[in-house]
Amino acid sequence: MDRMDDTLIDVPRGLTNVVAARTELGDVRGHEGFYHYRQYSAVDLARERTFEEAWHLLLFGALPTADELAAFRARIAAARSIPPAVIELLPAIARLTSGGDALAGLRMALTAVAAADGARPLYDESADARVEDAIRTAAVTPVLLARLHALADGREPAQPRDDLGYVAGYLHLVTGRVPTQQEERALSAYMTAAIDHGFNASTFAARVIASTGADLASAVGGALGALSGPLHGGAPSRALDTLDEIGTPDRTDEWVRRTLSQGGRVMGFGHAVYRTEDPRSRMLRAFAEGFGGPRVDFAVQVERRVQELLAELKPGRELHTNVEFYAGVVMELCGIPRSMFTPTFAAARVVGWTAHILEQAADGKILRPSSRYVGPAAPEPLPARQEAVR
């Protein structure tokens, strides 16, 4: 507790539960295990609609008709081309990020695309021009990611196909093959569920930058910087690493007890908002079980036993699987390499980021919160400067 203007004010760490802005895009109700995009359940959208339909909903406020969806898909396809100057630059970016940091490569590439396009500050653009920027940035993101991945692997990048939608097209570009219907459906469910999730760190970062009137690519770049932190975006591959380290079901107890006794975390379990089972995890478990196989059976066994152990070792805490646990399993089943797990999340979340950027830009008010000073009392007399000994 701190005092300001003779009023006692609590400043929670991490700004937990602090309302920073109003939004019409969606909400997360953690105690209910529910979240939504505008007026629809996000999980229902992920199960029953396409990625582009959810995108249209966030961008324009309504689900599209069949004709509107066809026009929107054509608009996305027309916006995904990479400027020739950027194509020439991408091999150098891939070399600079050859350690597998695709997000760093994407940040550089999106900046280059914005420069080549002559992007203008949001402050100077009309509402329609901002929407065009949003579609352009989100449409080109998966193409850039897949091309950088191929170049880093020493492969010739595949070319986008006009007959494939956003998700199937991305899978084709990353894996080099046309996905099966089951693969496309499963990845579409994951990516649709990942479009937006309240004022998480990357979304808030994007809104702060957008509030300054900066160009849209800069705001997305800030979001990508936040996403690169392991506490925000790195868990899907780490959750699979956990399965690899455990190895077999009979080693689960020993591994969990040792990890927790050493102060470690069991990746893929627990969430900052949900106090019930993460609804995204429940949905993705069903898609994983649809594939079947030893990997899925093992993941289900580990999930059940880890939750039992967490209830025993950390009583009173609700630690269920979060989206990352089965997201890693589903992406692996679809042929996506682990180095591309978080970039795949980014290829989905960029749609949510850009929707939030548009909403913030329309507000027109710069985000400028206050801080709480907790250092030595001020003012103190400035000490006299001591002359150096000569």
DSSP-assigned letter for residue 124:
G
Helical H runs in the chain? 42-48, 51-60, 66-78, 84-96, 102-117, 127-152, 166-175, 181-193, 201-211, 216-227, 230-233, 235-246, 252-261, 279-291, 294-313, 323-333, 341-363
Query: What Cα–Cα distance (Å) separates residue 61 from each residue in 25, 49, 206, 360?
Result: 8, 15, 20, 15
- The CA distance from 107 to 299, in Å, is 33
What count of Cα atoms within 13 Å lies in the side-chain half-sphere of residue 99? 4
CA angle at 148 for the pair 147 and 149, rounded to the nearest 5°: 90
CB 340 within 8 Å of CB 149: yes
**Which one of 172, 324, 332, 356 is the catalytic residue?**
324
For 84, phi then psi, to 5°, come to -55, -40
Whether 149 is a known active-site residue: answer no
SS3 per-residue string spanning 142-209: HHHHHHHHHHHCCCCCCCCCCCCCHHHHHHHHHHCCCCCHHHHHHHHHHHHHCCCCCCCHHHHHHHHH
**Which one of 271, 303, 320, 356 is the catalytic residue?**
271
First to last CA, the chain: 49
Query: What Cα–Cα distance (Å) separates residue 83 from each residue in 86, 148, 217, 234, 271?
Result: 5, 15, 15, 30, 40
Q: Among 222, 188, 267, which Cα is nearest to 103's?
A: 222
Whether 184 is a known active-site residue: answer no
Q: Which residues are catalytic?
A: 271, 324
